[in-house]
Structure 1
Protein backbone atom coordinates (compact mmCIF):
# COMPACT_ATOMS: atom_id res chain seq x y z
CA UNK A 1 0.00 0.00 0.00
CA UNK A 2 1.23 3.51 -0.83
CA UNK A 3 1.76 5.78 2.19
CA UNK A 4 1.16 9.41 1.31
CA UNK A 5 1.53 10.72 4.89
CA UNK A 6 5.12 11.96 4.43
CA UNK A 7 4.07 13.89 1.31
CA UNK A 8 1.07 15.34 3.13
CA UNK A 9 3.38 16.49 5.94
CA UNK A 10 5.74 18.08 3.41
CA UNK A 11 2.79 19.95 1.87
CA UNK A 12 1.60 21.07 5.31
CA UNK A 13 5.11 22.43 6.00
CA UNK A 14 4.92 24.40 2.73
CA UNK A 15 1.57 25.88 3.85
CA UNK A 16 3.03 26.87 7.24
CA UNK A 17 6.01 28.53 5.53
CA UNK A 18 3.61 30.36 3.21
CA UNK A 19 1.50 31.56 6.17
CA UNK A 20 4.67 32.83 7.82
CA UNK A 21 5.65 34.69 4.65
CA UNK A 22 2.18 36.23 4.37
CA UNK A 23 2.37 37.48 7.97
CA UNK A 24 5.50 39.43 7.06
CA UNK A 25 3.77 41.14 4.13
CA UNK A 26 2.91 44.69 5.04
CA UNK A 27 -0.71 45.76 5.18
CA UNK A 28 -1.93 49.23 6.06
CA UNK A 29 -1.88 48.39 9.76
CA UNK A 30 1.04 48.29 12.20
CA UNK A 31 1.92 44.71 13.13
CA UNK A 32 5.07 43.49 14.94
CA UNK A 33 5.64 40.73 12.35
CA UNK A 34 6.27 43.34 9.65
CA UNK A 35 9.71 43.89 11.23
CA UNK A 36 10.48 40.16 11.26
CA UNK A 37 13.12 40.46 8.55
CA UNK A 38 15.07 43.30 10.24
CA UNK A 39 18.59 42.34 11.38
CA UNK A 40 20.28 44.58 13.94
CA UNK A 41 24.04 44.89 14.31
CA UNK A 42 24.56 44.32 18.02
CA UNK A 43 27.36 42.79 20.06
CA UNK A 44 29.55 42.36 16.98
CA UNK A 45 27.04 40.38 14.91
CA UNK A 46 23.73 40.73 13.08
CA UNK A 47 20.79 39.54 15.13
CA UNK A 48 17.03 39.39 14.45
CA UNK A 49 15.23 42.39 15.93
CA UNK A 50 13.13 40.19 18.22
CA UNK A 51 16.32 38.99 19.95
CA UNK A 52 17.43 42.49 20.95
CA UNK A 53 14.09 44.20 21.60
CA UNK A 54 10.41 43.77 22.33
CA UNK A 55 8.19 44.89 19.42
CA UNK A 56 4.56 45.84 20.05
CA UNK A 57 1.85 47.63 18.10
CA UNK A 58 0.86 50.75 20.04
CA UNK A 59 -2.12 51.22 17.74
CA UNK A 60 -2.97 50.67 14.06
CA UNK A 61 -0.40 53.25 12.92
CA UNK A 62 2.48 52.94 15.43
CA UNK A 63 5.00 50.26 16.38
CA UNK A 64 6.84 50.57 19.69
CA UNK A 65 10.23 48.92 20.08
CA UNK A 66 11.69 48.58 23.56
CA UNK A 67 15.32 47.39 23.47
CA UNK A 68 16.45 44.90 26.10
CA UNK A 69 19.73 46.84 26.24
CA UNK A 70 19.40 50.64 25.82
CA UNK A 71 22.83 50.80 24.14
CA UNK A 72 21.36 49.10 21.04
CA UNK A 73 18.72 51.76 20.41
CA UNK A 74 20.68 53.58 17.67
CA UNK A 75 21.49 50.30 15.90
CA UNK A 76 17.81 49.30 15.97
CA UNK A 77 16.66 52.60 14.45
CA UNK A 78 19.42 52.41 11.80
CA UNK A 79 18.52 48.82 10.86
CA UNK A 80 14.85 49.73 10.34
CA UNK A 81 15.77 52.82 8.31
CA UNK A 82 18.18 50.74 6.17
CA UNK A 83 15.52 48.18 5.19
CA UNK A 84 14.18 49.86 2.03
CA UNK A 85 11.43 47.29 1.52
CA UNK A 86 9.70 48.57 4.66
CA UNK A 87 9.85 52.28 3.85
CA UNK A 88 9.63 53.22 7.53
CA UNK A 89 11.24 56.13 9.39
CA UNK A 90 11.79 55.33 13.09
CA UNK A 91 12.40 57.90 15.82
CA UNK A 92 13.98 57.15 19.20
CA UNK A 93 13.64 59.02 22.46
CA UNK A 94 16.51 57.29 24.25
CA UNK A 95 14.36 54.53 25.76
CA UNK A 96 11.89 53.48 23.05
CA UNK A 97 11.96 53.47 19.25
CA UNK A 98 8.68 54.68 17.76
CA UNK A 99 7.94 53.61 14.21
CA UNK A 100 5.01 55.41 12.58
CA UNK A 101 3.42 53.24 9.90
CA UNK A 102 2.16 55.57 7.17
CA UNK A 103 -0.93 54.59 5.18
CA UNK A 104 -0.14 52.79 1.95
CA UNK A 105 -0.67 54.51 -1.39
CA UNK A 106 -2.72 52.71 -4.02
CA UNK A 107 0.43 52.16 -6.08
CA UNK A 108 2.33 50.71 -3.11
CA UNK A 109 -0.61 48.42 -2.29
CA UNK A 110 -0.52 47.03 -5.83
CA UNK A 111 3.25 46.46 -5.58
CA UNK A 112 2.77 44.58 -2.32
CA UNK A 113 0.01 42.41 -3.82
CA UNK A 114 2.27 41.65 -6.79
CA UNK A 115 5.10 40.67 -4.44
CA UNK A 116 2.72 38.48 -2.41
CA UNK A 117 1.44 36.79 -5.58
CA UNK A 118 5.05 35.84 -6.41
CA UNK A 119 5.19 34.07 -3.03
CA UNK A 120 1.97 32.25 -3.98
CA UNK A 121 3.64 30.95 -7.12
CA UNK A 122 6.75 29.85 -5.17
CA UNK A 123 4.57 27.89 -2.73
CA UNK A 124 2.62 26.24 -5.56
CA UNK A 125 5.86 25.27 -7.31
CA UNK A 126 7.04 23.67 -4.05
CA UNK A 127 3.72 21.76 -3.80
CA UNK A 128 4.07 20.50 -7.36
CA UNK A 129 7.62 19.35 -6.63
CA UNK A 130 6.37 17.28 -3.68
CA UNK A 131 3.61 15.87 -5.91
CA UNK A 132 6.16 14.97 -8.60
CA UNK A 133 8.39 13.25 -6.02
CA UNK A 134 5.41 11.19 -4.84
CA UNK A 135 4.54 10.24 -8.42
CA UNK A 136 8.13 9.13 -9.07
CA UNK A 137 8.05 6.96 -5.97
CA UNK A 138 4.75 5.44 -7.08
CA UNK A 139 6.02 4.68 -10.58
CA UNK A 140 9.21 3.09 -9.29
CA UNK A 141 7.39 0.91 -6.71
CA UNK A 142 7.37 -2.54 -8.30
CA UNK A 143 5.51 -4.24 -5.45
CA UNK A 144 2.33 -2.19 -6.04
CA UNK A 145 -0.43 -3.13 -8.48
CA UNK A 146 -1.55 -0.69 -11.17
CA UNK A 147 -4.82 -0.07 -9.29
CA UNK A 148 -2.95 0.89 -6.12
CA UNK A 149 -0.62 3.14 -8.14
CA UNK A 150 -3.58 4.89 -9.81
CA UNK A 151 -5.36 5.32 -6.48
CA UNK A 152 -2.15 6.69 -4.92
CA UNK A 153 -1.73 9.12 -7.81
CA UNK A 154 -5.31 10.31 -7.36
CA UNK A 155 -4.76 10.78 -3.60
CA UNK A 156 -1.62 12.84 -4.24
CA UNK A 157 -3.36 14.91 -6.93
CA UNK A 158 -6.28 15.57 -4.56
CA UNK A 159 -3.89 16.57 -1.77
CA UNK A 160 -2.04 18.91 -4.11
CA UNK A 161 -5.28 20.47 -5.30
CA UNK A 162 -6.55 20.95 -1.72
CA UNK A 163 -3.31 22.57 -0.55
CA UNK A 164 -3.16 24.73 -3.67
CA UNK A 165 -6.71 25.93 -2.97
CA UNK A 166 -5.71 26.67 0.63
CA UNK A 167 -2.83 28.84 -0.65
CA UNK A 168 -5.27 30.69 -2.92
CA UNK A 169 -7.66 31.29 0.00
CA UNK A 170 -4.86 32.61 2.22
CA UNK A 171 -3.70 34.90 -0.57
CA UNK A 172 -7.21 36.24 -1.26
CA UNK A 173 -7.63 37.05 2.43
CA UNK A 174 -4.26 38.81 2.52
CA UNK A 175 -4.98 40.66 -0.73
CA UNK A 176 -8.27 41.96 0.68
CA UNK A 177 -6.43 43.04 3.84
CA UNK A 178 -3.78 44.88 1.79
CA UNK A 179 -6.24 46.63 -0.52
CA UNK A 180 -8.54 47.68 2.35
CA UNK A 181 -8.10 51.38 3.08
Structure 2
Protein backbone atom coordinates (compact mmCIF):
# COMPACT_ATOMS: atom_id res chain seq x y z
CA UNK A 1 0.00 0.00 0.00
CA UNK A 2 2.74 2.44 0.94
CA UNK A 3 4.76 1.35 -2.10
CA UNK A 4 1.73 2.08 -4.32
CA UNK A 5 1.38 5.62 -2.91
CA UNK A 6 5.11 6.25 -3.40
CA UNK A 7 5.11 4.81 -6.93
CA UNK A 8 2.19 7.02 -7.95
CA UNK A 9 3.86 10.08 -6.41
CA UNK A 10 7.11 9.27 -8.24
CA UNK A 11 5.30 9.00 -11.59
CA UNK A 12 3.43 12.24 -11.08
CA UNK A 13 6.56 14.11 -9.94
CA UNK A 14 8.48 12.83 -12.97
CA UNK A 15 5.69 14.10 -15.22
CA UNK A 16 5.83 17.50 -13.49
CA UNK A 17 9.58 17.68 -14.18
CA UNK A 18 8.99 16.79 -17.87
CA UNK A 19 6.30 19.48 -18.16
CA UNK A 20 8.74 21.99 -16.66
CA UNK A 21 11.42 21.04 -19.19
CA UNK A 22 8.89 21.37 -22.03
CA UNK A 23 7.88 24.78 -20.71
CA UNK A 24 11.52 25.85 -20.62
CA UNK A 25 11.83 24.91 -24.30
CA UNK A 26 9.05 27.35 -25.19
CA UNK A 27 11.15 30.29 -23.99
CA UNK A 28 13.37 31.44 -26.80
CA UNK A 29 17.09 31.81 -26.61
CA UNK A 30 19.38 33.32 -29.23
CA UNK A 31 18.90 30.23 -31.40
CA UNK A 32 15.93 29.15 -33.48
CA UNK A 33 14.44 26.11 -31.75
CA UNK A 34 11.52 24.20 -33.32
CA UNK A 35 10.09 23.63 -29.81
CA UNK A 36 9.36 27.38 -29.63
CA UNK A 37 6.89 27.03 -32.48
CA UNK A 38 5.20 23.75 -31.49
CA UNK A 39 2.57 25.48 -29.32
CA UNK A 40 1.71 28.32 -31.71
CA UNK A 41 -1.96 27.94 -32.58
CA UNK A 42 -2.97 28.44 -36.21
CA UNK A 43 -6.57 29.10 -37.25
CA UNK A 44 -6.90 26.12 -39.59
CA UNK A 45 -10.37 25.87 -41.14
CA UNK A 46 -11.92 27.58 -38.13
CA UNK A 47 -10.27 25.57 -35.37
CA UNK A 48 -7.07 26.44 -33.48
CA UNK A 49 -4.48 23.81 -34.41
CA UNK A 50 -0.89 23.56 -33.09
CA UNK A 51 1.67 24.51 -35.73
CA UNK A 52 3.54 21.23 -35.18
CA UNK A 53 0.53 19.38 -36.64
CA UNK A 54 0.34 21.55 -39.74
CA UNK A 55 3.96 21.82 -40.81
CA UNK A 56 7.45 20.44 -40.42
CA UNK A 57 9.86 22.68 -38.55
CA UNK A 58 13.60 22.68 -39.26
CA UNK A 59 16.46 24.86 -38.07
CA UNK A 60 19.06 24.93 -40.91
CA UNK A 61 20.98 27.78 -39.25
CA UNK A 62 21.38 28.98 -35.67
CA UNK A 63 18.95 31.87 -36.00
CA UNK A 64 16.70 30.66 -38.85
CA UNK A 65 13.76 28.30 -38.81
CA UNK A 66 12.12 26.88 -41.94
CA UNK A 67 8.43 26.02 -41.73
CA UNK A 68 7.19 23.68 -44.48
CA UNK A 69 3.39 23.32 -44.37
CA UNK A 70 1.84 19.98 -45.24
CA UNK A 71 -1.12 21.85 -46.77
CA UNK A 72 0.04 24.79 -48.90
CA UNK A 73 -3.38 26.46 -48.56
CA UNK A 74 -2.62 27.07 -44.87
CA UNK A 75 0.52 29.08 -45.67
CA UNK A 76 -1.04 32.52 -45.06
CA UNK A 77 -2.66 31.45 -41.77
CA UNK A 78 0.61 29.93 -40.51
CA UNK A 79 2.50 33.10 -41.44
CA UNK A 80 -0.07 35.24 -39.62
CA UNK A 81 0.07 33.05 -36.48
CA UNK A 82 3.87 33.23 -36.35
CA UNK A 83 3.87 37.00 -36.85
CA UNK A 84 1.41 37.54 -33.99
CA UNK A 85 2.94 35.00 -31.58
CA UNK A 86 3.95 36.59 -28.28
CA UNK A 87 7.57 36.58 -27.05
CA UNK A 88 9.05 35.70 -30.46
CA UNK A 89 9.63 39.05 -32.10
CA UNK A 90 10.30 37.24 -35.37
CA UNK A 91 9.16 38.30 -38.81
CA UNK A 92 8.24 35.43 -41.11
CA UNK A 93 8.87 35.63 -44.86
CA UNK A 94 6.75 33.56 -47.23
CA UNK A 95 8.00 32.47 -50.65
CA UNK A 96 4.85 30.57 -51.65
CA UNK A 97 6.23 27.16 -50.66
CA UNK A 98 7.86 27.59 -47.25
CA UNK A 99 8.10 30.19 -44.51
CA UNK A 100 11.49 31.36 -43.30
CA UNK A 101 11.64 32.83 -39.82
CA UNK A 102 14.81 34.69 -38.83
CA UNK A 103 15.11 35.17 -35.09
CA UNK A 104 16.40 38.63 -34.11
CA UNK A 105 19.32 38.96 -31.70
CA UNK A 106 18.29 39.22 -28.07
CA UNK A 107 19.22 42.31 -26.11
CA UNK A 108 20.64 41.90 -22.60
CA UNK A 109 17.43 43.31 -21.07
CA UNK A 110 15.31 40.87 -23.06
CA UNK A 111 17.53 37.98 -21.93
CA UNK A 112 17.06 39.00 -18.28
CA UNK A 113 13.32 39.21 -18.83
CA UNK A 114 13.31 35.67 -20.25
CA UNK A 115 15.33 34.47 -17.24
CA UNK A 116 12.58 35.84 -14.97
CA UNK A 117 9.95 34.02 -17.04
CA UNK A 118 11.90 30.75 -16.80
CA UNK A 119 12.33 31.17 -13.03
CA UNK A 120 8.57 31.65 -12.71
CA UNK A 121 7.95 28.47 -14.69
CA UNK A 122 10.44 26.61 -12.46
CA UNK A 123 8.68 27.84 -9.33
CA UNK A 124 5.33 26.69 -10.74
CA UNK A 125 6.82 23.24 -11.36
CA UNK A 126 8.21 23.11 -7.81
CA UNK A 127 4.78 24.01 -6.44
CA UNK A 128 3.28 21.19 -8.50
CA UNK A 129 5.83 18.72 -7.05
CA UNK A 130 5.10 19.94 -3.52
CA UNK A 131 1.35 19.56 -4.11
CA UNK A 132 1.93 15.97 -5.24
CA UNK A 133 3.96 15.41 -2.07
CA UNK A 134 1.17 16.86 0.07
CA UNK A 135 -1.46 14.59 -1.54
CA UNK A 136 0.79 11.55 -1.14
CA UNK A 137 1.42 12.44 2.52
CA UNK A 138 -2.32 12.68 3.09
CA UNK A 139 -2.70 9.24 1.51
CA UNK A 140 0.04 7.88 3.79
CA UNK A 141 -1.64 9.43 6.85
CA UNK A 142 -4.89 7.74 5.86
CA UNK A 143 -3.08 4.37 5.99
CA UNK A 144 -2.02 4.79 9.64
CA UNK A 145 -4.78 2.53 10.94
CA UNK A 146 -4.06 -0.23 8.43
CA UNK A 147 -0.25 -0.34 8.66
CA UNK A 148 2.19 0.46 11.45
CA UNK A 149 3.22 3.99 12.33
CA UNK A 150 6.87 3.09 11.71
CA UNK A 151 6.08 2.01 8.15
CA UNK A 152 4.18 5.25 7.54
CA UNK A 153 7.03 7.40 8.89
CA UNK A 154 9.54 5.46 6.74
CA UNK A 155 7.27 6.09 3.75
CA UNK A 156 7.13 9.80 4.58
CA UNK A 157 10.94 9.99 4.75
CA UNK A 158 11.15 8.26 1.38
CA UNK A 159 8.54 10.69 0.02
CA UNK A 160 10.62 13.64 1.24
CA UNK A 161 13.66 12.18 -0.55
CA UNK A 162 11.64 11.81 -3.76
CA UNK A 163 10.44 15.38 -3.48
CA UNK A 164 13.97 16.69 -2.98
CA UNK A 165 15.31 14.70 -5.96
CA UNK A 166 12.60 16.00 -8.29
CA UNK A 167 13.00 19.60 -7.13
CA UNK A 168 16.76 19.24 -7.70
CA UNK A 169 16.03 18.02 -11.26
CA UNK A 170 13.93 21.15 -11.85
CA UNK A 171 16.73 23.35 -10.42
CA UNK A 172 19.29 21.66 -12.70
CA UNK A 173 17.12 22.22 -15.77
CA UNK A 174 16.62 25.84 -14.67
CA UNK A 175 20.39 26.40 -14.36
CA UNK A 176 20.96 24.97 -17.84
CA UNK A 177 18.24 27.14 -19.35
CA UNK A 178 19.50 30.28 -17.58
CA UNK A 179 23.03 29.62 -18.88
CA UNK A 180 21.61 29.11 -22.37
CA UNK A 181 19.63 32.35 -22.15
CA UNK A 182 22.52 34.45 -20.86
CA UNK A 183 25.00 33.01 -23.38
CA UNK A 184 25.84 35.67 -25.95
Scaled to the shorter chain, the TM-score interval is over 0.9
Tell me the distance in 2 between the aligned counterparts of 1:109 and 1:160: 30
Pairs aligned (count): 181
1:16-165 mapped onto 2 (5 Å cutoff): 16-141=18-143, 142-165=145-168
TM-superposed CA distance for 1:43, in Å, is: 2.0
Match for residue 177 of structure 2 among 147, 152, 174: 174
TM-superposed CA distance for 1:37, in Å, is: 1.8
Structure 2 stretches lacking a partner, 5+ long: none
Tell me the distance in 2 between the aligned counterparts of 1:119 and 1:152: 29
Please report the RMSD computed on the Cα atoms of aligned residues, expressed in angstroms.
1.0
Tell me the distance in 2 between the aligned counterparts of 1:37 and 1:87: 16
Tell me the distance in 2 between the aligned counterparts of 1:84 and 1:135: 39
TM-score, normalised relative to structure 1:
0.96
TM-superposed CA distance for 1:84, in Å, is: 2.4
TM-superposed CA distance for 1:44, in Å, is: 2.4
Q: Which 4+ residue blocks in structure 1 deviate beyond 3 angstroms?
A: none
